[in-house]
Amino acid sequence: MLASILLLASCTGNKKTEPTSENETDATFEYTVDKFADIEILRYQVHGFNELSLQQKELIYYLSQAALEGRDILYDQHNKYNLTIRRTLEGIYENYFGDKNSEEFKKFETYLKQVWMANGIHHHYSEDKILPEFSKEYFLHLANSIDPARMPVKDGASASELIEMLTPIMFDPAIYPKRINQAAGVDLVKTSAVNFYENVSEQEVDAFYNKMKDPNDNTPVSYGLNSKVVKEDGVVKEEVYKIGGMYSAAIQRIVNWLDKAANVAENDQQKQVILSLIDFYKTGDLEKFDDYSVLWVKDLNSQVDFINGFIETYTDPLGMKGTWESIVNFKNIEATKRTAIISDNAQWFEDNSPVDKRFKKEEVKGVSAKVITVAILGGDCYPATPIGINLPNADWIRRDHGSKSVTIENITEAYDKASLGNGFAEEFMWSNEEVDRAKKYGSITNNLHTDLHECLGHGSGKLLPGVNSDALKAYGSPIEETRADLFGLYYLGDPKLVELGLVLDGEAYKAQYYSYLMNGAMTQLTRIQPGKDIEQAHMRNRQLIATWVLEKSKESNAVEMKERDGKTYIVVNDYEKIRELFGELLAEVQRIKSTGDFEGAKNLIETYAVKVNQPTHTEVLDRYAALNLSPYRGFVNPVYKLIKNDEGEVTDVSVSYNESYVDQHLRYSHQYSSLPNNN
């Protein structure tokens, strides 16, 4: 599971930047790269890379190449026309020699940047289709100005025919309106724009996989994780992602780089992890993916680590299909001392959680936690990225073998450093007391909440015998994120954290409690268009917690919303009572998860997590607009290069930070694009 950062309190204005090497100091490193639409692009530093051994650096290089080769896969998974659209836009951008300073062309450029950010034509967070602000006529004018050889046309088709096909897909709001539709009472498969299903209904997909599932299987594979479901000649079947199957060209290139990585692995255990992943890619066999996952979770000795594959299911309306993603990283040894303390005490946290004893693990196995320095982001982790990860997702692997939890500290550092002095806290927090507490404790409590969310939250609790891990269907992801967030929130206020030395002040947790409730009830609404419901799983999770606590606080007045000078604020009157309420909700959410209570999940999500308070929304949008901040952030990656001697031997690997957002995406499209337009 991936943890997304609460970005709204970390926004800043635009700055231009050209840092060039790892040796840049914090004082000279400029974090902001670009700003457009509702997005700001940052860069992150890879602290400590030059201190790694040559073998480790070479390993990171090969793994980073594998991480970039899956980019086309994600575009295609998001929508079957995304690759054609991206290549058309890029062909125009690179080969149009007309007026690039015109207002229309600048709108075209912004749209292209948005498509890169979202890995397709739907907003990366809201799921709504991104509608171009330039006209259809201008789009045709641009296309007709380009040499057809520079456009993704084939079979004798003209650029005009290509544009005729793409124009309604891009401009008509009624065609593919949402990447994922999670509205109640509709066919989620037929009304979602993702490319996981074709010519099938939700009912047909459910029936197809229900035939495969054995309720008595104690170690079930994650059915459907690496495939597309199609119906041909009346027969429902899977098209599996593997070498020789769907996405074969890209997967073959991923495997080629993994082969090189295996040859410079740090140890035999890590080499077996890589070879096991290669075996899965060659066969598409999900049992082999489980074999790889078990080996991966047990590799605790390697400093360099990675994820690579079809993993998270947030983008599937049915919560089964994994989008392709990759992160390459290495352990921050000093900062990992913090997470080691948490994982060493995992059993205490499990035993003392406020949930029913029936739903607790009698023995917490293999909870490992570390703080990492990310070296490259790929697939569904790029340009937008999580700040924490807990994997594998299979409940039985967590139960029998444990999980790995990481906090990505150089990403949170980039957010924090780029946000200094932006005025957000002063605008939305009730008083100087909350502002000062956020400045003093905000960074450490944010990181601790991520640690607790990933290491303990996702790894806590158990399913009762016979409960299917997919029982909550579309509500599964927001319920799981709610569960992990509540676990972290509940324990942030526990004196045990002071006892363990994780915080020095028992008041520190109040900074996270206040910012979390403020974000869940108010400030995250800057990401929602007027009149829209909340769709994204993490946003649903945060609003669920905040609005539930506000409702349950009416008698105790632990937290309330107050108006002052025409502005609305969160006001906390009793932090200890809020912690009790977090515990009550955690107990209920764990019950829902453990028992597979679909109706209970539906009731919580639909009651508290979906609908937006419109007056509050309007007010928040107006106040936020006055700050001139961007509610979303993405990243550019560093650039790694092999340095070789005259004999062709690798002598070093360099890292630089001077690539712009536009240059990086155009280079990636030239260098790492192997799939056909239609898959």
Q: Give per-residue pLDDT as tens, 575-623.
A: 999 999 999 999 999 999 999 999 999 999 999 999 999 999 999 999 9
Instruction: Look at residue 619 in the predicted model and tell me its pLDDT.
Output: 97
- What DSSP string describes 265-303? -SSHHHHHHHHHHHHHHHH--HHHHHHHHHHHHH--S-S
Q: What is the mean pLDDT of residues 208-221?
A: 92
Q: Classify 637 in phi/psi space as left (phi over 0), alpha (psi -120 to 50) or beta.
A: beta
Q: Which two tokens stand for residue 405?
A: 């939890």
Angle between helices 661-671 and 82-95 (to 10 degrees): 120
pLDDT band at 7 (very low <50, low <70, confident <90, very high): very low
Please give the span between the terminal C-alpha atoms of the chain, in angstroms, as a whole number: 27
pLDDT band at 182 (very low <50, low <70, confident <90, very high): confident
Average pLDDT, the chain: 93
Residue 25: pLDDT over 80: no
Q: What is the mean pLDDT of residues 621-628?
A: 93
Instruction: Look at residue 87 in the predicted model and tell me its pLDDT.
Output: 97
Q: Which residue, chain included where needed, has tokens 């993405």?
A: 634
Q: What is the mean pLDDT of residues 632-646?
A: 97
Residue 280: pLDDT over 70: yes
Instruction: Look at residue 27 in the predicted model and tell me its pLDDT.
Output: 58
**3-state secondary structure at position 351:** helix
Instruction: Look at residue 3 in the predicted model and tell me its pLDDT.
Output: 58
| 453 and 388 Cβ atoms separated by less than 8 Å | yes
Question: Quick check: bond before 392 cis, omega within 30?
Answer: yes
pLDDT band at 26 (very low <50, low <70, confident <90, very high): low
At a CB cut-off of 8 Å and minimum separation 6, what does 625 contact? none
Q: Give per-residue pLDDT as tens, 107-119.
A: 999 999 999 999 9
Distances 210 to 54, 391, 471, 597, 614 between C-alpha atoms, Å? 49, 25, 11, 18, 40
pLDDT band at 236 (very low <50, low <70, confident <90, very high): very high
Distances 319 to 23, 382, 468, 473, 477 between C-alpha atoms, Å? 43, 21, 13, 6, 7
pLDDT band at 346 (very low <50, low <70, confident <90, very high): very high
Cα torsion through 181, 186, 189, 191, rounded to 10: -60
Give the DSSP letter of residue 356. -
**3-state secondary structure at position 103:** helix
How many CB atoms lie under 10 A from the CB of residue 432? 10
Helix H or strand E segment including 331: strand 323-331
Give the DSSP letter of residue 382. S
Q: How far apart are CA 361 and CA 473, in angstroms?
A: 23
Residue 156: pLDDT over 80: no
Distances 552 to 418, 548, 584 between C-alpha atoms, Å? 36, 6, 10
Q: Give per-residue pLDDT as tens, 33-60.
A: 999 999 999 999 999 999 999 999 999 9
Q: Give per-residue pLDDT as tens, 347-391.
A: 999 999 999 999 999 998 867 888 899 999 999 999 999 988 989
Q: CB-side exposure of 152: number of CA atoms within 13 Å?
A: 20
In degrees, rounded to 5, the angle at the alpha carbon of residue 603 between the alpha carbons of residues 601 and 608 is 100
* Reduced DSSP (H G I as helix, E B as strand, rest coil) percent helix, strand, coil of the chain, to 5: 50, 15, 35
Q: How far apart are CA 542 and CA 519, in angstroms?
A: 8
